[in-house]
Each structure stands twice: as structure tokens, then as C-alpha cells.
Amino acid sequence: MRKAVGAKDMDSGEARMTTLVAPTPEAGSKPAQIMEAAGALFLEHGYSAVSMDAVAKRANVSKATLYAHFGSKEELFRAMVACECANSVLTNVWDEAMELPVTDGLRLIGRTFVRFIASPKALGLYRMVLGEVLRQPELAQAFYDSGPAETFLRGRQFMAEAARKGELAITDTDLATHQYFGLLKANMHMKLLLCLSERPGDAELERFVDAAVDLFVKGYAPDRP
């Protein structure tokens, strides 16, 4: 269960390895049972308020079984986050997007990304991590490494390929990737995190994404003879 995998700091491009727990427990197994219980408790009560005793009770396992799979609450949190990110809809979108014309690829990425970050589960996880960031900064790092960093890396690869094909005039792929995901999140994600607005319907989300894609593509349109 405790297979270490590497994560990089994608903003700086420097390799900074972080130990994460392999995110693919077998369905119905004790680790899967424990992570499901822990995830529910973390989202309901926050990280600090949840004890390993509570996780064992919720998962209907002994403490010995719990610690046999997860050596600490932080390790359990890392495993839960990595599992959620690995199983998200974002993991399957990148290869398909690479095969599409750049505008269609950006729309596919954008619509998938926005639906994911606006989902109740993703918002709950964001809120929990933000609530713990000062007390438990290592949890914020684990969360970033397991999800946003991977999304940024794949987005940057998409931008680099679009530039190589001459579809977009991008010279700084890091900057372009930041700009694109910033356009997608904008003020909408902040208001959702703060519970200041309801989740928009799918049609409204698509309209929002399409406008962001159109603006981005126009801004990076290559010069044509």
C-alpha cells in the first residue's frame, strides 16, 4: 500500500520529490474502506478535529488494522487526496484534448476542469485544506502535489504542444498555463468557496468556459502572412 511516488513543484519547474501514498487501493479492500471513512470525516469535521480512533470506528476496523495500512493521520490524508485526484474526471481528458484542434482541446479541458472544481466534493476538500493551512502547512503541500500540480503540468504540456504546432504563439508556457486556468476560475471559484453563490448550471459553465477560451485563443493567435 505504501508505494512512494514522486511529485514535482510545477510552478518552479524544479524537481522536489514528495512522498505520496499510492492512490489505487483495491475496491472493497481495507485501505479503500479506511480512506472512504477518513474522507467523509475530514470533510464533515475538518482535519484537526478527526482522530485516528474516529476513523477506525467509522471504517469499522481495529486501530491495529488502521495503523497497519496508514502510519499516521497525515499519511492517511495524503492517500485520500491522491486517490480522489487520481480518480477525478481530469485524469482522462488530456490525451483526447491533445488530438483535437487547439480551440476544441482548450474547451474540453476547460469544461472538464470547471465542472470538477465546482463540484461539492472538490469545494469541500479545498475549504478543508484552506482551513488547516496555517496549522498544517504540510497538508496544503500534499494536496497541491496530488492534484493542482499535476493539472498544471498537463496543462503546460498542452500549451507547449500547441506552440510547437504553430496553433498558438506561446513563448512562456508557464505564464500561459497560469493565465488559462486563471481565466477559467476567475471570481466564480472564489464565490463558490466562500458559499456566496450557488453552483451555476452546466449551460452557464459552458458559456463561461467558451468565453475564456475565445479570449485566450485571440490573445495568443499566431501572426498569419
15 has a pLDDT exceeding 60: no
Say what the pLDDT of residue 7 is.
41
Buried b (16+ CB within 10 A) or exposed e, 103-128: bebbbbbbbbbbbbbbeeebbebbbb
Reduced to 3 states (helix: H, G, I; strand: E, B; else coil), residue 132 is helix
**Residue 193 grid coordinates:** 468557496
Q: Where in the chain is the domain with CATH 1.10.10.60?
A: 4-85
- For CATH 1.10.357.10, list the domain ranges present in the chain: 89-219
Q: Is residue 18 predicted with pLDDT exceeding 50? A: no
Query: Which residues share a beta bridge with 4?
Result: 21
Query: Which pTM value belongs to this model?
Result: 0.78
Confidence at residue 196, expressed as pLDDT on a 0 to 100 scale: 95
Q: Domain 4-85: which topology?
A: Arc Repressor Mutant, subunit A (1.10.10)
Distant-in-sequence contacts of 212-218, Cβ < 8 A, 24+ apart: 212/110, 212/180, 212/183, 212/184, 212/186, 213/103, 213/106, 213/107, 213/110, 215/183, 216/106, 216/179, 216/180, 216/183, 217/102, 217/103, 217/106, 217/168
d(CA 113, CA 133): 23
pLDDT at 79: 84
Query: What's residue 4's pLDDT?
Result: 39
- pLDDT confidence of residue 225: 61
**Residues 33, 26: Cα–Cα separation, whole Å:** 10
- CATH class of the 89-219 domain in this structure: mainly alpha
Residue-wise pLDDT tens digits, 83-114: 777 767 677 899 999 999 999 999 999 999 99
